[in-house]
Amino acid sequence: MLDLRPGERPDTFTGDNLQVPTGRVFGGQVLAQSLLAAGRTVDPGRLPHSLHGYFLRAGDVATPIRFDVERMRDGRSFSARRTHAVQDNGPLLSMIASFQEDQPGLDFAERPPRDVPPPEDVPSASEHLAAVDHPVARFWTESAFDLRHVGGAVYVRADEQRTGRQLVWLKTRGAVPDDQLLHRALLAYACDQVMLEPILRHAGLSWSTAGLSIASLDHAMWWHRDVRVDDWLLFVQSSPSGQGGRGLGAARVFDRQGVLVASIAQEGMVRVPLV
């Protein structure tokens, strides 16, 4: 799915879709594909350090996506690219990503919380959903990523504490080639599975809440250091605000050694029927 094909015009690419039970393109997929398309137009020595994107409309999984890349600037250290992910009904995502060559400079970072149980001691999404016979449950359990929620998931039950705090261990189920652009794109892919969950926790909701309508609106991401998605990553998440049918999810991502590798923010539409 992430192996994009060259398009008919320069700096255009085409990609296929993950088959999702809802029939709508998974947001993390189009985010990762857009980043990889942009990366193909940049010097290989420059890696993405940030992206900012808006999800504009739902995509159809039955229709391939075209990725149009605009070369906005190539400076001495940084390159900027704009990518539009397009289907027949218009753009699905508009994203700007910035790439930088490796350079020396400041080096400091926050540390992860203490006393977080290791991933081996935390139940997986497959264990949480083993007894649920539903296409969406199978989609979660057959995901390319192993997700492990510290303190329990919100797939079928709400968080009684309603703190908006969440800790999740995450990694791919298999090895990934030693390609840092691919690892960073896969982190963008994976994070869309969990970024709005702190909002659900804060509001006392779960993915199974009757009448829940939820969708990603925009996404911002910063890679601070090299990352490997085939080793365990810890997402330290929060939701600082929910208002007007929208909520903000934030995450700091640490590797297993406690090194901060990325920061992420995503706003989503979260609507439930009024009681």
213 is catalytic: yes
* Whole-number Å distance between alpha carbons of 244 and 126: 33
98 is catalytic: no
Same fold, 1-101 and 121-275: yes
pLDDT in tens, 202-228: 999 999 899 999 999 999 999 999 999
> Phi/psi of residue 43, each to 5°?
-50, 130
Q: Is 232 exposed, middle or buried (0-12, 13-18, 19+ CB in 10 A)?
A: middle
pLDDT in tens, 54-83: 999 999 999 999 999 999 999 999 999 999
Low-confidence ranges of the chain (pLDDT < 50): none
* Whole-number Å distance between alpha carbons of 129 and 120: 18
Catalytic residue among 29, 79, 192, 255: 192
Catalytic residue among 161, 179, 213, 226: 213
pTM score, whole prediction:
0.94
Tell me if the domain spanning 1-101 has CATH number 3.10.129.10. yes
* Whole-number Å distance between alpha carbons of 235 and 195: 9
Secondary-structure class of domain 121-275 per CATH:
alpha beta
266 is catalytic: yes
Residue ranges of domains in the chain: 1-101, 121-275
